[in-house]
Structure 1
Amino acid sequence: MSSANVTANLTREETAERASHITVHDIRVELDLSGAPERARTGFPTVTTLRFDASADATWIDFIGESVTRVTVDDREREVRYDGARILVDGLSAHNVVRVEAVAAYSRSGEGMHRFHDPVDGETYLYTQYEPADARRVMACFEQPDMKASYTFDITAPAGWHVLSNQSPARVREGIGVQRVEFAPTLPISSYITSVAAGPYARIDGEWSRGDQRIDLGVLCRASLAEHLEADEIIEVTRQGLDFFSDAFAYPYPWGKYDQIFVPEYNLGAMENPGLVTFTEAYINRGAATDAQRGGRANTILHEMAHMWFGDLVTMRWWDDLWLKESFADYMGTHASAAATRFTDAWARFANSRKTWAYRQDQLPTTHPIVADIPDLEAAKLNFDGITYAKGAAVLKQLVAFVGEDAFFEGARRYFAAHAFGNTTLEDLLDELEEVSGQDLRTWARLWLQTSGVATLWLETDAEGRRVLVQDGGAAGPRPHRLRIGLYDLQDGRLALRERIELGIEQDRTEVQVPDADLVLLNDDDLTYAKVRLDERSLATVEQSLSALEDDLARGLVWSSLWNATRDGELGAERYLDIVRLHGPAESNVALLTAVLLNAAFAVRHYVADDARDGQSRAWVDTTWAALQSADAGGDAQLAWARAFAAAAGYGGGHEDHLRGILDGDAPRGLPVDADLRWLMLTSLATTGNATVEEITAERAQDDTATGRTAEIRALASRPDAQTRADAWHAAWNDLTLTNDHLDATIGGFRAGGRRDLIASFDAEYFERIRDVWSTRSIELAQRLVVGLFPATPDTSLVDAWLEQNTDAPGALRRLLIESRDDLARDLRVRAAQG
């Protein structure tokens, strides 16, 4: 593997050079997956035939696998020149047909062709995941988004399996125990959104039609999960989305069919492969689920559907413009959820949780503009982040406010018509939006898309009562904002909206006419991207009466403001927790509640002063237990509080009897104690030393599923003794048989309960290991180790020394260390500010 790393990290410059002299037409991929059920078989034959024009004598073709056995150019044998990542071919003519015969490797990391054996029934399942550059783990290809081609997949697989790709089968040939499925050619697409899945998946069929267009719908998952699939709701949301986007974009869905498959051990939420969208199985609820969870799934379905146009039909030229698909899909997923489905609270969820991700990312020293500088693939991998997704979506919402919704969607329609099946940059989109809106968007784009950082907004009042809206834009300076200010009065126990004032600001200080009110809410309706502060009167109001604010979006914005002020050390962590304890049990929107509970737990562990943490930890677990008992039986809030209680109890606090009682059948009335909740409770008991190995293995015997086995690994690794934690440490670094999910579980167990007394001795060793693991493991697994095992020590000297001594380390690795260090420094800074 180490030899491949030398050439695996493709750069922007070399791929641009390759694209300038290679024009690819079509690619045929033949995969023999018939041996996949044989666990001892590590790889599979892959044959790729690439037809392309060339204006240079030589180029390279990307492939990472076990071996390359044969290369021909125009049917003539060539010497195999393969370094583990690139196949060199020369003697090219104007028109070429290159055939590569190779052996690819089955993956356990979720990269390339992932193979999973279901412990429930012993069946084998395969699926591919490529973005940004893992198609080369399955086929020989030109691994860059701007070299689109028509792909034809020819798959040999065991008889009786579902075999799927981007298009429908064109021909199926049955053999003895095997089948060979040849799919129709795709329209021109990039390598990273080609897709294959194969296995005895359970399938539910549906259909969508509009006028003369008819689309076959499929929803698939492992057979052992089929009873939990909720396919009817998934198909309903899919139909609603196709209705919405067909109207909004005025461009018919171009990919022929629409299969959606839920797959195990998946690294992402989902992936927009045209005609075969892949989703994590986390969206399949084995037991109880809140409506917020279903709303999140609907949002993801619609996010991926938006990609059928933004990303698949029109694709960025290079990863600098990753936002051209991800920001748009994030915005469109939320917009379509609110406009076309029953999940009308989507923007409230976005304001209170999705943007939290953006605010955090945008305050790191490694923040970057939405239109980022991406020199290579390693940098691209790390830029699937809160800026590219959530900040980009928030800024697009501001753009809609700036140019108007009609102009925005008309610009999108013209963009698709002009660039269908092509590749674009920012300039192409701005051309269409400017023509439609009649506005100069270059200045707007420069200030919003090509600078970094988040502004903070607040009101100041002088001695004469004049009010100034202050914008602190940091290094980026002031940006133009279109926003609304909501004035709320406390009347008859309600915080009622009196009026909203709409205005635009461009400077760092703008005098505004804003009357007094019990609550003055800046950025009401959440039109712009900025942290907002509450004035003292407004803070006092929400401190006592937040529950009286009935509008979900407004309440979500208040919760967001409180959390940002806590993270910045301007609102005391204990004061924030007091607000959560008072108003959290009354929070009626379970999506907001879920986010607030996560933030409160984080505040206890990271932001409360050291000498107050034990007391606040006990108070928090007491709060969650009391709220669980008082929540409406069988409601979403009860389940949310039960999960929060289980998590809090893992840090101690004397509720072992309550945990044990729930596991033994004495649960609060109406609480659905399913397998997943049982594992949360049992893991908390294990973390505090109150569960035995025998109890954990017995629980797994009752839940001998993939999820149960992963949960067992975490629970066993969570036991609070030094040898157990040492074993988890060594397994994480050295056990190459761990899958991606099992590695996460091992790391989670090692870190369980915040027991620095058990793991601090490994701090120095961490810094000795990270360069080697970065060079020898895939970036997916290496990133989990580097981030997951970063030592949360109050002494930053070790990481500072590593950064000083490793200036030549890969940029992506240094970025992860710098970000982890900054999170730690924020913890220490906020704790020190508590008074």
Structure 2
Amino acid sequence: MSSANLTREQTAARAAGIRLDTVDVDLDLRDAPKTDAATFGAASTLVFAATVAETWVDFIGASVDEVILNGVSQAVEWDGARIRVSGLVEQNTVVVRGQGRYSTSGEGLHRFRDPVDDQVYLYTQYEPADCRRVYPCLEQPDLKARWRFTVTAPVGWEVLSNGAESARTPIDGGVRVAFAETLPLSSYITAVAAGPYHRVDGTWASDGQSVALGVLCRASLAPHLDADEILDVTRRGLDYYGTAFAYAYPWGKYDQIFVPEYNLGAMENPGLVTFTESYVFRGKATAAQREARANTILHEMAHMWFGDLVTMRWWDDLWLKESFADFMGAHANVATGAFPEAWVSFASRRKSWAYEQDQLPTTHPIVADITDLEAAKLNFDGITYAKGASVLKQLVAFVGEEAFFRGAQGYFAAHAYGNTTLADLLAALEGASGRDLTAWSDAWLQTTGMSEIRVERGDALTLVQTDPRPHRLTVGLYAFEGDRLVRRARVELDIDSARTPLSAPVLPDADLIVPNDDDRTYAKVRLDERSTDAVTRALSSIDDAVTRAVIWAALWNAVRDGELPVARYVDIVCRHAPGEPNVALLADAIAHTGFAISRYAREEDRAALAAAWLEATWNALQAAAPGSDAQLAWARGVGAVAAVAGDRAAEIGAILRGDTAPPLGLALDPDLRWSWLISLAATGHAGSAEADAELLRDPSASGRSRHRTVLAARPDAGIRAEAWHAAWTDESLSNDHLDATIAGVRAGGRRDLIAAHDADYFARIRPVWAARSIEIARRLVVGLFPASDSLADVDAWLAANADAPASLRRLVIEQRDGLARALHVRSEQPTG
């Protein structure tokens, strides 16, 4: 095992012998604007108590130049990841000076040059263990310290860290900025950002507490930054959380910075939260997009308590922060009044992610067995986030909301600035609720998979569940009133067995029966045939958006399981998506339809289905209310399917050229234009000239990435081959440019253009895993997996590489499962 891949046992042993007190970090970033800048000065001074004679300091950088232990220089013993330090005494001060490397993969200290104004921007991203790529540290969550940062940067730059700026001193070639000492933090949530960022200031004040707020982005994006809405959501959240958790926001200031080429949605660094700049909308944004951004803001804010104030001891209990933050993001969005329909999006999007992840052969309990850092990196998944949040929603129903928050308050009070495990949380919740949560924990947190719930008709109605678990749920019963489906009854019940009679007043002859009608529990819902017939006729007539979300999810799961034919699903979407008022549900239905056609339809049916779907999206676009969210959702849907079906290429091209006016009210923002142009390129209706012309219109960083995709998407085997090889071999590609290249290779699902590279894929994945960072390697392994019509090649690789790193095998196994599902579902499609 590489020394970079720390294990749970190794870090536990280190924590048993070390008590970390403070870490002083000194970074010199003055050379960052230089074209050839590759490294930066990095020094750490670590003060700690020890009961062991030796330990190691983590650092993955360009060089280690000096190690000083208690004032005495030491020989440098560094293997590229660990610096050995021996001769420890009871109290120790270790100084390590070296050179870090700038990153272009979004791991460590990322360096980005804006093509619009040639300005350089820096930011850090560490979770789970990339702090050591920037400065020497003890890289594990249970060795917290008080951190003091000093950063030297070019004059005129914004320089930020977790603490408030405390001093700024001009020096030769730059400015030296010092920051206030933090309260105890784990290394992975420390942070630095520097560059000529645009900044908007604000303040939040309540009950005598005043917090300085900042919202930042690149200067070239400043015209698009809707800071007022971001600050409004932030203030609502701070109002809510301080009261709900009975613990005042502890981290001083609250800066939120939107950064380029970001690998995540956001990261909860206290005092300096980082977000993907995809949340800075360059054109019209739908309510669903704004809701998703608010959800992320509130998710990260929840981490100020769940994760930052109280932190898991090791990555087994990652859920202790991520599941809670995912739940709180939606809960607070509703509770604060920011976006009252947030649970609708949760039911459709987050749960869909969880259901899909939980059906993979690599699924794991919410409380996972994480043996090392590579495993931790891949466990930021639909189980840890969305299933965990879904289960917490069930827990709140189980113990009651008031008891749940009392338990959280006790948890923070008891463990502030410390590290915890599952047992600590259960003790707090049991104390507040008076309920024994042992059986609940065993059933939900330490098992895998999900129940499938359906209602069986007969003389009476019976709720049937596979893989029985305890659920508190609601069954909705609907009947037709004219052409509308109207809820006539709801049955609330607790179940824990395979079969449960519905004994409350019910409609035994209901036209539609919806298990989990209010989406309270976590289970796959299966509609019976009569209910499916009813929603085929009148899904869009149901008033309750959460119920519609449950039904849309049930239909999609039925498609994925081969229970509902793709053609019938497409028919339902064509009938009812144009009448779906919730734009998140609409966008999901559009996306699922395209995926169903490309992955689950039989090859001989695909072209006709894609053509019909293109016509449906095109007609819905023309019919949508001008300027509405629905109009934009349908326009994006046209872009997606037009990469497969070229029947509307002439009209799309004419609109892009300006020869034809777009539908009334539709703003052709840069992202929509690029989406349509990529689709034209994939079907052979646009080439390099059109790509270059579009780049002149939009020379931004996003435009340059999309330009790369257009060029790679052209339907020529030689062009696709060139892009294929660039993805694997061109290490100058940033994370975003790699994604853009992969998107071009895969554009339009043209297996005929790339199938020749299948053997090359399997020859490359193990070497690339060893040679590249896990983030870049993961994108290659997942993004270029062959969507072939056989499992033979992947099975042969798995058999021949039983000794491959477990994290690599996990990715390959998951991709194999997706392919196996696609092949199975295709085989279940009706013929004729």
Normalised by the length of structure 1, the TM-score is: 0.98
- Report the CA distance between 1:815 and its aligned residue: 0.1
Equivalents in 1 of 2:698, 2:608: separation in Å?
36
**Aligned residue for 1:485?**
475
Say which of 545, 549, 552 aligns to 1:552: 545
**Aligned residue for 1:507?**
497
- Report the CA distance between 1:459 and its aligned residue: 1.1
**Which amino acid is 1:723 matched to?**
G
Output aligned runs, 1:578-593, within 5 Å: 578-593=571-586
Equivalents in 2 of 1:549, 1:27: separation in Å?
58
Output aligned runs, 1:391-402, within 5 Å: 391-402=387-398
Say which of 696, 716, 726 aligns to 2:691: 696
Say which of 582, 588, 595 aligns to 1:602: 595
> Does 690-699 or 806-815 show the bigger shift?
690-699
Structure 2 residue runs of 5 or longer lacking an equivalent are none
Say which of 631, 635, 651 aligns to 1:642: 635
Does residue 778 in structure 1 map to residue 770 in structure 2? Answer: no
Equivalents in 2 of 1:302, 1:342: separation in Å?
10
Does residue 137 in structure 1 map to residue 129 in structure 2? Answer: no
**Which amino acid is 2:679 matched to?**
S
**Aligned residue for 1:834?**
829
**Aligned residue for 1:745?**
740
Equivalents in 2 of 1:664, 1:50: separation in Å?
60
**Aligned residue for 1:763?**
758
Say which of 511, 534, 537 aligns to 1:518: 511
- Report the CA distance between 1:492 and its aligned residue: 4.6
**Aligned residue for 1:731?**
726
> Does 550-559 or 188-197 show the bigger shift?
550-559
Equivalents in 2 of 1:108, 1:498: separation in Å?
57
**Aligned residue for 1:410?**
406
Contact 2:294 2:338 in 1 (8 A): no
Does residue 364 in structure 1 map to residue 372 in structure 2? Answer: no
- Report the CA distance between 1:491 and its aligned residue: 2.0
Equivalents in 1 of 2:285, 2:213: separation in Å?
25
Does residue 70 in structure 1 map to residue 66 in structure 2? Answer: yes
**Aligned residue for 1:211?**
207
Contact 2:455 2:513 in 1 (8 A): no
- Report the CA distance between 1:537 and its aligned residue: 2.1
Say which of 670, 674, 678 aligns to 2:673: 678
Equivalents in 2 of 1:551, 1:177: separation in Å?
62
Equivalents in 1 of 2:621, 2:815: separation in Å?
34
Equivalents in 2 of 1:817, 1:176: separation in Å?
51
Q: SS of the counterpart of 2:203?
A: strand
Query: How big is each residue's C-alpha offset from its partner over 1:790-825, in whole Å with a ceiling of 9 and x where there is no partner?
Result: 000111111101101111000000000000000000
Equivalents in 1 of 2:646, 2:67: separation in Å?
65
Query: How big is each residue's C-alpha offset from its partner over 1:679-733, in whole Å with a ceiling of 9 and x where there is no partner?
Result: 1111111111111211111211221110110000000000000110011011000
**Which amino acid is 1:734 matched to?**
T
Does residue 496 in structure 1 map to residue 491 in structure 2? Answer: no
Does residue 180 in structure 1 map to residue 193 in structure 2? Answer: no
Q: SS of the counterpart of 2:362?
A: coil
- Report the CA distance between 1:20 and its aligned residue: 0.3
**Aligned residue for 1:467?**
461
Q: SS of the counterpart of 1:107?
A: coil
Query: How big is each residue's C-alpha offset from its partner over 1:264-315, in whole Å with a ceiling of 9 and x where there is no partner?
Result: 0000000000000000010011112111100100000000000000000000
Equivalents in 1 of 2:711, 2:519: separation in Å?
44
**Aligned residue for 2:124?**
128
Equivalents in 2 of 1:26, 1:814: separation in Å?
39
Equivalents in 1 of 2:304, 2:153: separation in Å?
28
Q: SS of the counterpart of 1:50?
A: strand
**Which amino acid is 2:351 matched to?**
K
**Which amino acid is 2:725 matched to?**
H
- Report the CA distance between 1:75 and its aligned residue: 1.0
- Report the CA distance between 1:479 and its aligned residue: 0.7
- Report the CA distance between 1:495 and its aligned residue: 2.4
- Report the CA distance between 1:489 and its aligned residue: 2.5
**Which amino acid is 2:673 matched to?**
R
Does residue 334 in structure 1 map to residue 330 in structure 2? Answer: yes
- Report the CA distance between 1:461 and its aligned residue: 2.4
- Report the CA distance between 1:494 and its aligned residue: 3.2
Q: SS of the counterpart of 2:201?
A: strand
Query: How big is each residue's C-alpha offset from its partner over 1:468-497, in whole Å with a ceiling of 9 and x where there is no partner?
Result: 211112xxxx11000011122222543222
Equivalents in 1 of 2:625, 2:368: separation in Å?
47
**Aligned residue for 2:701?**
706
Equivalents in 1 of 2:180, 2:489: separation in Å?
57
Equivalents in 2 of 1:317, 1:791: separation in Å?
39
Equivalents in 2 of 1:564, 1:246: separation in Å?
39
Q: SS of the counterpart of 1:766?
A: helix
Query: How big is each residue's C-alpha offset from its partner over 1:606-661, in whole Å with a ceiling of 9 and x where there is no partner?
Result: 11122211110111111110110111111110010001101101112411111112
**Aligned residue for 1:319?**
315
- Report the CA distance between 1:515 and its aligned residue: 2.3
**Aligned residue for 2:384?**
388
Output aligned runs, 1:139-178, within 5 Å: 139-178=135-174
- Report the CA distance between 1:6 and its aligned residue: 2.0
Equivalents in 2 of 1:342, 1:26: separation in Å?
39
Q: SS of the counterpart of 1:65?
A: coil
Query: How big is each residue's C-alpha offset from its partner over 1:108-134, in whole Å with a ceiling of 9 and x where there is no partner?
Result: 000000000111111110000000000
Q: SS of the counterpart of 1:7?
A: coil
Say which of 767, 783, 789 aligns to 1:788: 783
Does residue 536 in structure 1 map to residue 532 in structure 2? Answer: no
Equivalents in 2 of 1:512, 1:603: separation in Å?
35
- Report the CA distance between 1:219 and its aligned residue: 0.2
Contact 1:320 1:371 in 2 (8 A): yes
- Report the CA distance between 1:177 and its aligned residue: 4.1
Contact 1:494 1:550 in 2 (8 A): no
Query: How big is each residue's C-alpha offset from its partner over 1:709-758, in whole Å with a ceiling of 9 and x where there is no partner?
Result: 00000000000001100110110000010000000000110111111111
Equivalents in 2 of 1:509, 1:44: separation in Å?
64
**Aligned residue for 1:632?**
625
- Report the CA distance between 1:598 and its aligned residue: 0.6
Normalised by the length of structure 2, the TM-score is: 0.98
Does residue 801 in structure 1 map to residue 793 in structure 2? Answer: no
Equivalents in 1 of 2:703, 2:390: separation in Å?
38
Does residue 651 in structure 1 map to residue 644 in structure 2? Answer: yes
Equivalents in 1 of 2:259, 2:19: separation in Å?
34
- Report the CA distance between 1:372 and its aligned residue: 0.3
Equivalents in 1 of 2:97, 2:268: separation in Å?
28
- Report the CA distance between 1:174 and its aligned residue: 1.7
Equivalents in 1 of 2:809, 2:528: separation in Å?
39
Identity percentage of aligned residues: 60
Does residue 201 in structure 1 map to residue 197 in structure 2? Answer: yes
Contact 2:491 2:502 in 1 (8 A): no
Q: SS of the counterpart of 1:485?
A: strand
May I ask how many residue pairs the two structures share in their alignment?
825
- Report the CA distance between 1:176 and its aligned residue: 4.6
Aligned-residue CA RMSD in angstroms?
0.9
Query: How big is each residue's C-alpha offset from its partner over 1:227-257, in whole Å with a ceiling of 9 and x where there is no partner?
Result: 1000000000000011111111010000001
- Report the CA distance between 1:512 and its aligned residue: 1.7
**Which amino acid is 2:307 matched to?**
G
Contact 2:646 2:680 in 1 (8 A): no
Equivalents in 2 of 1:504, 1:515: separation in Å?
19
Which 4+ residue blocks in structure 1 deviate beyond 6 angstroms?
none
Equivalents in 2 of 1:342, 1:309: separation in Å?
20
